[in-house]
Amino acid sequence: GAGVSQSPRYKVAKRGQDVALRCDPISGHVSLFWYQQALGQGPEFLTYFQNEAQLDKSGLPSDRFFAERPEGSVSTLKIQRTQQEDSAVYLCASSLIGVSYNEQFFGPGTRLTVL
């Protein structure tokens, strides 16, 4: 596709449910990033992949958060036993080469609401 796509765009979960958020990066992009954006705030880094390797997961807030990119393309962010504080927009970004300062292209995000 022309840009980064994410699905679903909106997700409502009951507290305690597991959710899975999908990211399709721009074709050929080596690097993939997940960010969390609370209402009225700037995005915060969660994790980073270069191809299928997860090189940095320092931003994942708890062990309930898990991300994977098994074939170096599509990525899934999974949140287990969701809590209300997990409510946020989850943004995925990709960049062409595996160098940190290259431009990151963002998807539209998935808005997660935990009731």
Partner 1 sequence: EDQVTQSPEALRLQEGESSSLNCSYTVSGLRGLFWYRQDPGKGPEFLFTLYSAGEEKEKERLKATLTKKESFLHITAPKPEDSATYLCAVIKAAGNKLTFGGGTRVLVKP
Q: How far apart are CA 72 and CA 25, in angstroms?
A: 10
Q: How many C-beta atoms lie closer than 10 Å to residue 13's C-beta?
A: 17
> Using CB under 8 A, which of the segments 13-21, 33-41, 63-71, 78-86 binds partner 1?
33-41
Residue written as token pair 């963002």: 106
Binding partner 1 by CB under 8 A: which of 33, 88, 94, 112?
Answer: 33
Binding partner 1 by CB under 8 A: which of 35, 67, 69, 77?
Answer: 35
Q: How far apart are CA 40 and CA 61, in angstroms?
A: 19
Asked if residues 74 and 55 have their Cβ atoms less than 8 Å apart, the reply is no
> Using CB under 8 A, which of the segments 11-19, 60-68, 77-85, 101-109 binds partner 1?
101-109
Residues in touch with partner 1 (CB under 8 A): 4, 31, 33, 35, 40-45, 48, 55-56, 59, 91, 93, 100-101, 103-109
